[in-house]
Structure 1
């Protein structure tokens, strides 16, 4: 076992731990406390079923609308494997491997509380799959975000019973083939286990946490890039004065203005006398716009941290209280609403970024049209702005909320659903689009700054610009800018800004 691992039990999992987990590709391991909770819960359930004729949903009954059908004791284990097979109905694109990895981790975390009734061997196999990077093939379509993420989690757990496909050593392979090569036996699911595995919000949660981690990174980049753009545009720093923020003290606004002052401190361009009295809103209102998105992201993060530090399957088992309770912790409404909110909040970062790009190429403040020395012969940065505008418009379409929709399923037993899975997948599309638009602004602002020479921006901005210039050179004449735009995206992903 690597020392670079994340311990999982009922202890609160923090955002910093999640970020480190993603960055350092940590392995996972349940703690001794979690091991004992899982074992004790399974023993309680076995004893309860052996000594009671009571019906418990999904344990000795059918599922959904079929909850009234009694299942004979001799068939309760078959019931659970049938559940995984019948519910593995995903369609569409494959889920990215980083999110599958996080889904496995979050499922293990949820099971570690000892309220789900699984056997310890099932949890161990999930850990082995995670740590050996055996990633089940999961599809983006199929979940209504209500009775948990049924279809995606079924695909995730099919390998436990030797079915489905997995990625192993970066090759898509039948699970059965991989298990034979490793000498692994299939898990024989016991009563309640299939339901514990596929009831839960780990698909929505993994997408959300991944998007939040990426959002935090992009928010930091947005502050830097906007500071760079402001200097390249020969903008005014007065709107970032601490006194203005003090009389409207939203936390995000205050922190953004502080960041801009720090990024621009020492700039030769900033201290020049300005001809204009005010700048356009996309520059002047950076603290207010960026700050509002930051405050929204902080709120959304709180919701998701509560979710991943929770038990979201059904029914829930409470050995100490001698209770098996059927409820609705799998319903994705808190996540659906906030995934839609996150998409909206982050789309605004692309929206205002594209406006700054437009201002930089418009031939104002002594900058040449389209930031090229011979406009006409050369189109320069005309079309990257087109691309940014198209992406921003796509985001506006993607930000139509999924959570306002619902559709009845399971013969009207599941008559209100969250649509949180749809909110999750389109949220990631929005976040990736924001990254692309910011990359276009970075490329544009760096080009504009070079037209201010010999004046320099601040030492801290010039340091990042110098690193960027090692990847993308000044554009003196037309060339295939797609390559430069892709390099800018890679720079944002890889450069250690903070």
Structure 2
């Protein structure tokens, strides 16, 4: 199994960033960006695996044509927002041709104001750079070929600027992108690059940070849902649950696609479990947190699928303002940079993940509650004994994480940012906030899932169940985690969940379990 890496485990991050970004291993073939077919998986392989990005040959003529429009406007002295004028509340102020280079550099430096605090993980910055390259490939930004090549060179050499994890309200990621853009211009050992007309605005007037970070979060969320389904399967074995709730006839009569996907996974993970046979289930009808797993987890699958659809549209949509209309040789001011669509897709995903976390908490709690488990309190060695998972406060830790996930799941879209830039910017989508909170929810959810897996394995051990009678997907989880647990040694020394969390987050355990269940990891993608 692969060892955990800093890029794939969220606790290593110094700022809110995606958890458990799946790694393909070695960098693959270069990804050719054309501006119209960029995918979430391609961003992940560039940002995390270090795969090179190139510009598709079909894009270079568009880039040149777009630049020709900008240069014609400058030569004619036509008023054009951000090209021959100021920006924001200073849009009526003219910029002389002789001052364009100075104006563009000052524009970046002025917007790149630094504030002490967390900085973005380099993987997120690389993802943003890839998004920018794809945007420039559309030819609607009007930047020079030299700038595109410089950005591509920095990305492929993994020389990324330090960027603050704050400063965006979702009407373009202005502040962090200005820091990124300024770093690209000044990055040693290359010579200083002087930005031309509109290039400063093109570098900072998009949602590349939000889109890049969000892309990695969505790829991570696929594995997270697979992990949460696995945790539920282990919990069903630990409680000796009734598998009638995930039986095919139950799902066949309902048209929920997500429910079908989740229940199908659970049936595969629990294939050949003794629970499918009479006399094994403890209750005729389990608590709802066990009985409604496929229904509620299924909503997560559906919401993730919707978010992915929105994201891949936005990844290939020109968002920097103004738009270069190559066909008519014109410049058009617009509002494509508005990030409401992104936030409206991410808010529900955070909410359903928090709901699934709540469900996980209920299941792990009931496994060490004698009235439900039929075992000694807290899964202790025997009735009246001191110890077990309760002695380790695992339920308290899970409850705290669940509370945090619910706080971070609070809808972002309806928050007001007031009026900025002298009233010009009077609404914003707050996408970067929505994505940063999604990253926090994902990180918490992985920890909660790890605790549920821990409690489930502990309960299976207390029941002295033959591993051969467990579901095929549960067996490797039991065998891998059991040696890591301080069973009957609780309190002898401080127990750390870190090794278990690392094991779960880096994907090795989950992939092994799904492989044993005969499930192709490619099916983790949204339905």
One fold, TM greater than 0.5? yes
* Residue 385 in structure 1 maps to residue 395 in structure 2: yes
Is the partner of 1:404 in helix, strand or coil? coil
| Structure 1 residue 22: Cα displacement | 4.8
The 5-angstrom pairing of residues 275-424 of structure 1 reads 275-363=282-370, 364-373=372-381, 376-378=385-387, 380-382=389-391, 383-406=393-416, 407-424=418-435
Over 3 Å counting, the alpha-carbon distance change for 1:10 and 1:275 in structure 2 is closer
Cα distance in 1 for partners of 2:62, 2:493 equals 57
| Structure 1 residue 356: Cα displacement | 0.8
Work out which of the residue numbers 82, 94, 106 in structure 2 matches 1:82: 106
| Structure 1 residue 43: Cα displacement | 2.3
Give the conservation status (yes or no) of the 8 Å contact 1:270–1:457: no
| Structure 1 residue 404: Cα displacement | 0.5
Over 3 Å counting, the alpha-carbon distance change for 1:242 and 1:482 in structure 2 is farther
Specify every segment of 5 or more residues in structure 2 that has no aligned partner in the other structure, as ranges: 1-26, 515-520, 522-527
> TM-score normalized by structure 1?
0.91
Give the conservation status (yes or no) of the 8 Å contact 1:37–1:114: yes
Structure 1 equivalent of residue 96 of structure 2: 72
Work out which of the residue numbers 501, 508, 514 in structure 2 matches 1:489: 501
Work out which of the residue numbers 119, 135, 144 in structure 2 matches 1:119: 144
> TM-score normalized by structure 2?
0.86
- Between the two structures, name the one with larger relative contact order (CA 8 Å, sep ≥ 6): 2
* Residue 191 in structure 1 maps to residue 197 in structure 2: yes
Work out which of the residue numbers 176, 182, 185 in structure 2 matches 1:158: 182
Structure 2 equivalent of residue 108 of structure 1: 133
Is the partner of 2:327 in helix, strand or coil? helix
Cα distance in 2 for partners of 1:55, 1:5 equals 40
Give the conservation status (yes or no) of the 8 Å contact 2:77–2:84: no
| Structure 1 residue 76: Cα displacement | 1.7
How many equivalent residue pairs?
Answer: 476
| Structure 1 residue 89: Cα displacement | 2.4
Residue by residue, what CA displacement relative to the aligned partner does 1:206-255 show, whole Å, maximum 9, x if unpaired? 12111111111010111111011101100000011222212221110011
Cα distance in 2 for partners of 1:106, 1:142 equals 19
Give the conservation status (yes or no) of the 8 Å contact 2:354–2:441: yes
Over 3 Å counting, the alpha-carbon distance change for 1:266 and 1:72 in structure 2 is same
Q: Which moved more, 1:450-459 or 1:153-162?
A: 450-459
Cα distance in 2 for partners of 1:452, 1:463 equals 17
CA RMSD of aligned residues (A): 1.9
Give the conservation status (yes or no) of the 8 Å contact 2:486–2:495: no
Is the partner of 1:7 in helix, strand or coil? strand
Residue by residue, what CA displacement relative to the aligned partner does 1:135-164 show, whole Å, maximum 9, x if unpaired? 211112211111x100010111112331xx
| Structure 1 residue 312: Cα displacement | 0.9
Structure 2 equivalent of residue 144 of structure 1: 169
Cα distance in 1 for partners of 2:48, 2:195 equals 33
Specify every segment of 5 or more residues in structure 1 that has no aligned partner in the other structure, as ranges: 163-174
Is the partner of 2:379 in helix, strand or coil? coil
Give the conservation status (yes or no) of the 8 Å contact 1:235–1:270: no
Is the partner of 1:321 in helix, strand or coil? coil
Cα distance in 2 for partners of 1:482, 1:155 equals 43
Is the partner of 2:53 in helix, strand or coil? strand
Work out which of the residue numbers 460, 468, 482 in structure 2 matches 1:449: 460
Give the conservation status (yes or no) of the 8 Å contact 1:360–1:445: yes
* Residue 244 in structure 1 maps to residue 254 in structure 2: no
Is the partner of 1:324 in helix, strand or coil? strand
Work out which of the residue numbers 217, 220, 225 in structure 1 matches 2:223: 217
Residue by residue, what CA displacement relative to the aligned partner does 1:296-332 show, whole Å, maximum 9, x if unpaired? 1110111111111111101010212222111111111
Cα distance in 2 for partners of 1:483, 1:97 equals 31
Structure 1 equivalent of residue 77 of structure 2: 53
Structure 2 equivalent of residue 130 of structure 1: 155
Cα distance in 2 for partners of 1:334, 1:446 equals 41
Give the conservation status (yes or no) of the 8 Å contact 1:361–1:371: yes
Structure 2 equivalent of residue 428 of structure 1: 439
Over 3 Å counting, the alpha-carbon distance change for 1:85 and 1:37 in structure 2 is same
Structure 1 equivalent of residue 14 of structure 2: none
Work out which of the residue numbers 469, 478, 481 in structure 2 matches 1:468: 481
| Structure 1 residue 469: Cα displacement | 3.8
| Structure 1 residue 68: Cα displacement | 0.6
Over 3 Å counting, the alpha-carbon distance change for 1:430 and 1:369 in structure 2 is same
Work out which of the residue numbers 234, 237, 240 in structure 2 matches 1:231: 237
Structure 2 equivalent of residue 167 of structure 1: none
Q: Which moved more, 1:10-19 or 1:389-398?
A: 10-19
